[in-house]
Amino acid sequence: MYTQALDLPQQNPEGRPPSLAENPAWQAEFDAKIDAGGFIEPKDWMPEAYRKTLVRQISQHAHSEIVGMLPEGNWISRAPTLKRKAILLAKVQDEGGHGLYLYAAAETLGVSRDKLTDALLSGRAKYSSIFNYPTLSWADVGVIGWLVDGAAIMNQIPLCKCSYGPYARAMVRICKEESFHQRQGFDALLQLMQGTEAQREMVQDAVNRWWWPSIMMFGPHDSDSTHTGQNTRWGIKRISNDDLRQKFIDATVKQAEVLGVTLPDPELKWNEQRGHYDFGRIDWEEFWNVVNGHGQCNVDRLAARRKAWDDGAWVREAAMAHADKAARRAQAAA
């Protein structure tokens, strides 16, 4: 789910070298296809820069899903009812599934999942910085569903029509599954808001902590965004960061009223002229600090992923060893 302007600079994971040299005729054919709103498929010729950008964007997206399992996963063992436990587990599992669909889409561009995983675990690859914030109470689970998944859905719907076929198809599947995520979050919060004072305080506190990071998820202002122009030309990015952010804020204010919580921005108010809500200044210094590794959980999140990967090495190895042995035995018996 969680794309945020997935064009953050990073070192590219190694991929295959361009199989075909850059060629003006192919380039023209490629451009015409893109301009006509067509799709590029895995084995079609594509400019190397397009391929690299896609690998970076899709893999950042996949990493975000996988790291995104951790903050909410933090509450599975402590979910307050069995129904909520099942919902949360299914949701976190979905995120794993989304990561899997996306790695598969990236693999069609000639990079292996192991290479992409290595880029994540070594710290070269980026993932959505929202997951470097801690989940401190049960209400955080609801607020992540409502705000973080809500922002992610806004970001992702345009990607269902992106120009790269496998990515677009993965996004269609993901978006279908995603709306349950936002709705379960809102539902959990509604229940809390009808509960005790302590429960309502829990919700307000979570909203206070997650609001600004959520609207940062749309990425830097268009004026400061590095790749926007080229990515829009390529049909990998359809709507600008600022437009999506505005759309999200406009939709969320009403939802906050229904819920009975206050969004922590005193400058948030309806602007009749613009037909949109005005909002306060985003603290970009915080955003870049967290992106660059200085959020509360950056170190812990990566450590958890590395531990899972390293502890699982013997399992992955054993399964391959057994498959090889079984194949040899079958051959010997034949």
Partner 1 sequence: MERKEWPLWEVFVRSRNGLDHKHCGSVHAPDARLALQVARDVYTRRQEGVSIWVVQADHIVASDPDAKPELFDPAEDKIYRHPTFYKLPDEVNHM
Partner 2 sequence: MTEMAQQTTATSPGHVEYVMRMGDNALILGQRTAEWCGHSPVLEEDMALANMALDLIGQARMLLTHAGRLEGRGRDEDALAFQRNEPAFRNLTLCELPNEDFARTMLRIALFSRFQLLLWERLLSSTDSELAAIAAKSIKEARYHAQHSGDWVVRLGDGTEESHRRAQAALDYLWPYTAEFFIPSAADEAAAEAGVGPLWSTLEADWEAAVRPLLEEAMLSLPAPVPFRSQGKFGRHSEHMGHLLAEMQYLQRIHPGARW
* Binding of residue 303 to partner 2 (CB under 8 A): no
Is the separation of the CB atoms in 12 and 42 below 8 Å? no
Binding residues among 299-318 for partner 1 as defined by CB under 8 A: 313, 316-317
Question: At a CB cut-off of 8 Å and minimum separation 6, what does 238 contact?
Answer: 158, 159, 161, 162, 232
Q: From the list partner 2, partner 1, none, pick the one residue 112 interacts with, judged by a Cβ distance below 5 to 8 Å according to partner type.
A: partner 1
* Binding of residue 35 to partner 1 (CB under 8 A): no
d(CA 242, CA 215) in angstroms, rounded, equals 10
* Binding of residue 1 to partner 2 (CB under 8 A): no
Residue 260 burial (CB count, 10 A): 13
Which CB, 131 or 279, lies closer to partner 2? 131
Identify the CA nearest to 246 among candidates 271, 278, 214, 269.
278
* Binding of residue 95 to partner 1 (CB under 8 A): no
Single-letter residue type at 124: R
In the list 20, 24, 81, 267, the residue contacting partner 2 (rule: CB under 8 A) is 81
Q: From the list partner 2, partner 1, none, pick the one residue 177 interacts with, judged by a Cβ distance below 5 to 8 Å according to partner type.
A: partner 1
In the list 1, 69, 105, 168, the residue contacting partner 2 (rule: CB under 8 A) is 69
In the list 254, 319, 328, 329, the residue contacting partner 1 (rule: CB under 8 A) is 319
In the list 77, 223, 273, 331, the residue contacting partner 2 (rule: CB under 8 A) is 77
Is the separation of the CB atoms in 63 and 121 below 8 Å? no
* Binding of residue 276 to partner 2 (CB under 8 A): no
Which CB, 28 or 323, lies closer to partner 2? 323
d(CA 36, CA 11) in angstroms, rounded, equals 32
Q: How many residues of this chain interact with partner 2, rule: CB under 8 A?
A: 52
SS3 category, 278 = strand
- In 276-305, which positions are buried (b, 16+ CB within 10 angstroms) versus exposed (e)? ebebeebeeeebeebbeeebebbeebbebb
Q: What are phi and psi of 271, to 5 degrees?
A: -110, 105
Q: Is 109 left (phi over 0), alpha (psi -120 to 50) or beta?
A: alpha
For 180-309, list the strands marked E by DSSP. Answer: 269-271, 276-278
Q: From the list partner 1, partner 2, none, pick the one residue 107 interacts with, judged by a Cβ distance below 5 to 8 Å according to partner type.
A: partner 1
* Binding of residue 86 to partner 1 (CB under 8 A): no
Smallest distance from the beta carbon of 91 to partner 1, in angstroms?
Answer: 11
d(CA 105, CA 165) in angstroms, rounded, equals 9
Which CB, 105 or 192, lies closer to partner 2? 192
First to last CA, the chain: 48
**Listed ranges 48-56, 193-201, 253-261, 279-287: which one lies at the site for partner 2 (CB under 8 A):** 193-201
In the list 83, 273, 281, 285, the residue contacting partner 2 (rule: CB under 8 A) is 83
Cα angle value 56/62/65 (rounded, 5°):
140
Which CB, 276 or 322, lies closer to partner 2? 322
Question: At a CB cut-off of 8 Å and minimum separation 6, what does 52 contact?
Answer: 12, 15
Query: Which residues lie near partner 1 (CB under 8 A)?
Result: 41, 43-45, 90, 93-94, 97, 100-101, 104, 107, 112-114, 170, 173, 177, 313, 316-317, 319-320, 322-323, 326
Q: Which residues lie near partner 2 (CB under 8 A)?
A: 66, 69-70, 73, 76-86, 89-90, 92-93, 96-97, 99-100, 103, 138, 188, 191-192, 194-196, 198-199, 304, 307-309, 311-323, 325-326
